[in-house]
Amino acid sequence: MDDTRNLVRLLRAADQRMSRATLSRESHDRIRTELTAAGRPGPRRLSTMVPAPAGVAALCGALCGAAALWLVLQLIGRPSEAPESTAVRATGFAWQGDGQRCSAAARAGSLTLDGQCHIQAEQHGISIASRGQAEIVRVEDGVRLARGTAEFEVAHRPRRDPVRVWVSAGAIEVTGTRFIVEQSREGGHVDLLEGSIRFRAKDGTVTQVRPGTRFNWADRGSAPSPGAPPAAVPSPPTAAAVDTRAADRDHAAPSPTTEPPPTPPARARSSGTSAARLIERVEVLRAQRRYQEAIDLLRQSRGQSWDPHTAEVLSVEEGDLLDRVGDSARACAHWRTHAKQFPAGSYREAVRTALSRPNCR
């Protein structure tokens, strides 16, 4: 047979080539940081210290863990790749930035961040941590998140005007708190981790958001003018909804401070759009290795009336994530339930394989 079809020879040639490959410096840094954090005595991740069903609290824990990792990076004197500080300064925002795998580009007064960037808008006392790509614009009374996902932390501002984080459907008014905002073309949401915020819609409607809850909005028109008064923009976020999450869902439902009241929680709705959003969110969390949060998110979605195929897909993903975090007991229990629930499902072979593992028998 022709040598080019001799698999073993070709594999050895490929192996020879791969043997010259080396870990990138960036990977070395990341792994060393993880090892340092893991080797420290005591609980390695704050998320393990919070009650499992508290989704937002778990999110808090994971974020704190990420912040701790970042801090470790600084303490051990291993400067990570900082965004181009000249680019940051070029925005005229007096922001200072650094972070992991971060790049920044300034254009026409906006700052586009890619990676895990940490920046401070000193004038307003806002610390921002981007997650993936985010475009942030400084406006007179705060900042505007044009797109992407970012965590905001605002120093407490007693007796001062609130800082505003503008999004497509209005502004999040902040007096001192920590929250995560996600803005896409279709809309977005804010998850309040701690403190207190209120959402002022374009029509002036104000909704108070409580810790551990999510406020959703959907876009129907163009993004608001960053500095414009909210009431001057006519179209309200009609699809806005507050979604109380996890354990808080039943007893911490936020109440709007003005009419109209928010529409029913997003959980009550089940559509292709909500499934797609859920899936996208899970994908983002998975990509960020925030597996437990992805699991929590999927668990919260169980009550929705998904179509059978969607329900099966989501269940498979949850099981796979449980395997990923190494929780064999819960993973096996999940796969057993899944097998009963979807006996003729599309993934029955994969589920059978998962259940045939020694620790599942």
Partner 1 sequence: MTRQLALVSDEAETTPDVEALYARYAQRVYRWALRFGGGNIAWAEDITQDVFMSLVKRAPALDDPQQLGGWFYRVTANRCLNELRRQRLSRAFAAALHSMRGAEPDPRPAPDVAIIERGELDAALQAIARLPPAERVAFCMRHLDDLPQQEIGKILGYSKGHVSRLLKRAGSRLRKTGWSVDDG
Q: Name the residues that contact partner 1, by CB under 8 A.
A: 1, 3-15, 17-19, 21-24, 27-28, 30-32, 34-36, 38-40, 76, 272, 275-276, 279, 283, 309-310, 313, 316-317, 319-320, 323-324, 346-347, 350, 353-354, 358
Within 10 Å of residue 12's Cβ, how many Cβ atoms? 11
CB of 61 to partner 1, least distance (A): 18
CB of 194 to partner 1, least distance (A): 29
CB of 47 to partner 1, least distance (A): 16
**Which residue's CB is nearer to partner 1, number 244 or number 292?**
292
**Which residue's CB is nearer to partner 1, number 247 or number 325?**
325
Token reading at 330: 């819960």
Torsion of CA 267, 270, 273, 279, to 10 degrees: 70
Residue 163's nearest CA partner among 129, 139, 180 is: 139
**Which residue's CB is nearer to partner 1, number 48 or number 225?**
48
Pair 339, 351: CB distance under 8 Å: yes
**Which residue's CB is nearer to partner 1, number 197 or number 316?**
316
CB of 19 to partner 1, least distance (A): 5
| Cross-strand pairs, 320 | none
| Kind of pairing between the strands at 213-218 and 187-201 | antiparallel
**Which residue's CB is nearer to partner 1, number 32 or number 220?**
32
Token reading at 98: 């650094």
Distances (CA, A) of 188 to 97, 195, 246, 254, 310: 25, 20, 19, 18, 22
Name the DSSP letter for residue 223: P
**Which residue's CB is nearer to partner 1, number 24 or number 222?**
24
Tokens 């790749």 belong to residue: 81
Name the DSSP letter for residue 77: T
**3-state secondary structure at position 307:** coil
CB of 297 to partner 1, least distance (A): 15
